[in-house]
Copies of this chain bind each other. A is one copy, B any other.
Amino acid sequence: MKTILLIEDDADMRENTAEMLELADYRVLKAENGKRGVELARKETPDLVLCDIMMPELDGYGVLHMLGRNPATAEVPFIFLSAKAERGDVRKGMEMGADDYLTKPFEESELLNAIEGRLKRSELFRRGFDHGFEGLTKFMEQARGLEALKNIGRDRRTRKAEKKETLFHEGDELRNIPFVVSGKVRTFKINSEGKEFVTGLHGTGDFIGYMGLLENGHATETAEALEECEVALIPREDLLALLYKDRDVSIRFIKMLAHDVKEKEQHLLQLAYASVRQRVAQALLRVHERYAQEKDRDLGVRISREDLAAIVGTATESLIRCLTDLKEEGAIETQGRDIRIKDRNRLEDLAST
């Protein structure tokens, strides 16, 4: 059961509203002024806060400010209740970070709609945060319920891409963002001598190249299908509109990007000082993490030696020598192009050294 904190100084109003909420099967915490409200919020961490603006002791803005300063309560949805006369103040409240407002007197349906909408959104938001970086669309899928996302899912044009086909080149203007429906895609950069370095591996449910989209609309890397793929092309305006207009999506994005930066930094450290052997171990783990079949996880991954070398950032021959060593040590097994991890611990040891 969801808990709602109701902060309202007028006793009638408070009891009335509380009753409506309880009938709708919410647990209601009642506070008669802002100070008490903040105390309750800190102690109980409600799922949502309804708060009057004009109050003795500590007014609605004060409450919002206090809750915003504490990480535990900062993300709790906050809805203002305001009398008609305070219309100008509501705007101030929204600017301070309230999520919504209701003008008194309000209908029961109006109240419940606002609450439900916010709770749904907030839950989505929180759940999304637990997942890792790469599956933006796992989030997107969950979000399907959101009005804002409906349009993106609809009228998708999908197309096939053959193995080795290039989806876009570095420097291309990205009018559409590819979204991988099935298959595997790698993104890479090419240095002035023509050597490739793989910057990302993507699978079902990933968007590709949005980084460049955010930078200046041009791709910062080249994307190529590793096998036959099905991709949907999402008009960039749709993605941008979603990102710009929806706060929850923005914040989710920030976390994802921050995570990505952190990973890249880790990678830099590795590349700077680790031997090819260590980097190979690391790369094997990463590739398996990303592409291993879920059902039969150690069944192996099929990847060309050249591609793997580009992930590690070394010459193909060096990579192969290293694989041979690992094979002899019993850490991995190969069958033609497939590579299977036999001793994960061993690889992890190597990678972290």
Contacts and interface: CB of A to CB of B under 8 A. Distances in A.
Nearest to A352: B192
Residues of A in contact with B, size category: 35 or more
A40 to B, nearest CB: 19
A120 B197 CA distance: 43
Q: Copy number of this protein in the oligomer?
A: 2
Contacts of A331: none
A265 B215 contact: no
A261 B212 CA distance: 10
B74 A103 contact: no
Interface in A232-257: 235-238, 240-241, 243-247, 250-251, 253-255, 257
Given A68-B237, A69-B237, 13 more contacts: A69-B238, A74-B241, A88-B110, A191-B273, A195-B273, A197-B273, A199-B265, A214-B258, A215-B259, A220-B262, A257-B257, A260-B261, A264-B268
Interface of A: 68-71, 74-75, 87-88, 91-92, 95-97, 100, 103, 110, 114, 117, 147-148, 189, 191-193, 195, 197, 199, 211-212, 214-215, 217, 220-221, 235-238, 240-241, 243-247, 250-251, 253-255, 257-262, 264-274, 313-314, 352-353
